[in-house]
Structure 1
């Protein structure tokens, strides 16, 4: 997997979290995920599962499509 895809997803999560005005700790608590894991996701270091992505989306009050639109940009 291209780590650029994970970085793009992580940046979108970070941007949405910051637009809401939450810290990583607040997002982690609302999503039921460890704060350090959220940090890794936002930096593109974690290849999160679909279930974890759903937890994050539920906490951010958005759908998976919102965060993943046009990722990846290239199709095989």
Structure 2
């Protein structure tokens, strides 16, 4: 499987949702030139921008940064958002340590 690149994911999803760089930038509250820098890999998006993108595209931030979204089916793309919870077990002694 190919290594995920956030810049490729942003560009793929922007086009999939029918946004130009300008309309996408307006939707998440940044300058168009910054979108270009993200897509060309000249800049990495800040967390607040990743959060806005994940809301706009209805995918998790984890999916944006760690998966190759162009290789995911629609179900896999949105399942990653729904299935992002984890249950972790912990052990405590009689003194709750």
TM-score (norm 2): 0.59
Q: Which has the larger radius of gyration?
A: 2
2:42 aligned with 1:45: yes
The whole-number CA distance in structure 2 between the counterparts of 1:59 and 1:26 is 12
Higher helix share: 1
Q: State the Cα distance separating 1:63 from its structure 2 match.
A: 1.8
Q: State the Cα distance separating 1:48 from its structure 2 match.
A: 2.2
2:12 aligned with 1:15: yes
Superposition CA RMSD, Å: 2.1
Q: Any unmatched runs of 5+ in structure 2?
A: 69-97
In the comparison of the two structures, how many residue pairs are matched?
Answer: 66
Q: State the Cα distance separating 1:65 from its structure 2 match.
A: 1.4
Q: State the Cα distance separating 1:58 from its structure 2 match.
A: 2.2
The whole-number CA distance in structure 1 between the counterparts of 2:39 and 2:6 is 7
Q: Any unmatched runs of 5+ in structure 1?
A: 72-76
| 4+ runs deviating over 3 angstroms | none
Q: Is the 8 A contact 2:6 2:66 kept in 1?
A: no
Q: Is the 8 A contact 1:27 1:59 kept in 2?
A: no
The whole-number CA distance in structure 1 between the counterparts of 2:29 and 2:7 is 17
1:44-72 Cα offsets, whole Å, 9 max, x none, are 1112221121122223232201211258x
